Amino acid sequence: MNKLVFHVDEAKIPAADTNGTTHVFLYGKRPARLGTGSIGGRLEVAVARLAVPVDTRSFDFLSIALAVVAADTFVSRESFSANGWTREFILDVPLARPRVWQDVAADLEHALNFLSGDRWSLLFRDGGIEPPTKKDISRLIKHIPVGSADCACLFSGGLDSLIGARRLADEGRTPLLVSHSYRGDQSYQDYLAPRLGKTLPRFAANANPVFGGQNTNDTTMRTRSLGFLAYGVVSANAVLAKKPSAGVIDLFVPENGFIALNAPLTRRRVGSHSTRTTHPSFLSQIQSVLDKVGLPVRLQNRYRHMTKGEMLCEMLPSAVVAQAAVSTVSCGKWKRKSKQCGHCVPCLIRRAAFAKAGVVDTTPYQFPDLGKLWDRPDIRDDVMATLVAAGRDERSQRQRAIASGPLPFDPVERENWFGVHKRGLEEVAAFLKTQGFAN
């Protein structure tokens, strides 16, 4: 069992650790000492730049998300899981309004279990940080023009987020863009933002989890999406503060349905190779939590029934979109070498989307010629797994789609998820055929 105790006052972090307990400085810029961690050191300033006092409940949600991301980062699966995958966590987190969240702790634990494949126990106590006040806000020179926004939209620097934000702008909406400004991501976001058809306000922040001393951080980072959603919830709440008559604010989560479902391509990929960032079950569970605590934010994925190629086709012909699309990042491995590999599942889906839309893909992939992977058994696994999945009959494909997690009970919604899974596989298989692969 891995227990992490979070503190908002550095002076209260114990001078020594007890066995199995890690102390983390929440909203701290650096670890208090060796063997401790910190996360969210600049987030209070980022939230203050929204220029409105946000609801305490939304800020508490951010605190919870940061605690989860810290635990997921600092505790290695390889070292701290009994079966090589599942870890067990106890998080002791200070909140400004802990009683509000104690009633939904079990709901959050269930959602996190689904998201990361671990077992989570959440304990909430008094003493958490309140959101920035008007006095805090007045000290800042640079504010985000939230008043012009009518919704919020996650904006990662990927192709789907480009399309989602651009479509909202084309429809006359003014989304507040919400970005993770991790190292490397920000350059893509900065390039794409001016190509959305109009100037849009933008909230960007970096959780920056740091551990003091020797530690092997986990690289799977299954819960990063919760932190992203928490940024979005805080941002949407800021929009509502400026437009209270709206009653509820949409938070758009643009993600194609094929990768949102992310059904395991093969049996051995159940769990270990399947993220659940925007899976309908996870988003539904988080929406339920927001509703129960009274946060009027509505999560929306308008592209849940579309493949990536279908999303891109919908935006064409548009030379600006086509040019910007090639400058997005999709690769799941690119941060290791600052180059998109061209052969991982996200890269294959991306390349298939360009092929379907007839957009010339000038991305400088590490492996542009997939035909050469025949002689590389160490890196051809994703291509082979995709071909196997695409070659299954419809019944087997539907079983694999269900294996990713519970699908909605509504029969129309459910069939649409099966449909986008089938078309997504066909889209990638059609691209692979042009590369010399046949299933």
pLDDT tens per residue across span 48-92: 999 999 999 999 999 999 999 999 999 987 766 656 678 999 999
Q: Is 127 left (phi over 0), alpha (psi -120 to 50) or beta?
A: left
Rounded Cα distance, 111 and 298, in Å: 17
Q: Residue holding tokens 């959050």?
A: 108
Beta bridge partners of 394: none
pTM as predicted: 0.95
Domain ranges of the chain: 325-434
What φ, ψ does residue 28 adopt, rounded to 5°? -100, 145
19/239: higher pLDDT:
239
- Pair of tokens at residue 395: 């019944």
Query: Has residue 39 got a pLDDT over 90?
Result: yes
Q: Model confidence over 3-32: pLDDT tens digits?
A: 999 999 999 999 988 888 999 999 999 999
Rounded Cα distance, 27 and 150, in Å: 29
Question: Which residue type occupies 116?
Answer: S
Q: How many CB atoms lie within 10 A of CB 56?
A: 17
pLDDT at 271: 46
Question: What string of DSSP letters covers 236-274?
Answer: HHHHHHH-GGG-SEEEE----HHHHH---SSGGGTTTT-
pLDDT at 273: 44
Question: Which residue type occupies 91?
Answer: L
Bond from prior residue into 132 cis (ω within 30 degrees of 0): no
Contacts of 311 (CB under 8 A, 6+ apart): 159, 160, 163, 256, 303, 353
Q: How confident is the model at residue 438 (pLDDT cuts 50, 70, 90)?
A: confident
Kindly state the average pLDDT of the residues 203-232. 86
Q: Residue holding tokens 């849940």?
A: 304
Find out whether 154 and 290 touch, Cβ atoms under 8 Å. no
Query: Has residue 258 got a pLDDT over 60?
Result: yes
What φ, ψ does residue 40 adopt, rounded to 5°? 80, 30
Rounded Cα distance, 277 and 327, in Å: 23
DSSP state of 182: -
pLDDT at 83: 64
Q: How many CB atoms lie within 10 A of CB 203?
A: 23
Q: How confident is the model at residue 379 (pLDDT cuts 50, 70, 90)?
A: confident
DSSP state of 288: H
Q: Model confidence over 86-138: pLDDT tens digits?
A: 899 999 999 999 999 999 999 999 999 999 989 999 999 999 999 998 888 88
> Minimal CA–CA distance to 2: which of 14, 16, 20, 18?
20
Kindly state the average pLDDT of the residues 142-152. 96
pLDDT at 81: 60
Q: Model confidence over 348-362: pLDDT tens digits?
A: 999 999 999 999 999
Beta bridge partners of 249: 297
Rounded Cα distance, 258 and 272, in Å: 18
- Pair of tokens at residue 94: 């200070």
Question: What string of DSSP letters covers 58-104?
Answer: HHHHHHHHHHHHHHHHHS-HHHH-TTSS--EEEEEEE-SSHHHHHTT
State the maximum Cα–Cα separation within the chain, in Å, rounded to a whole number: 64
pLDDT at 272: 42
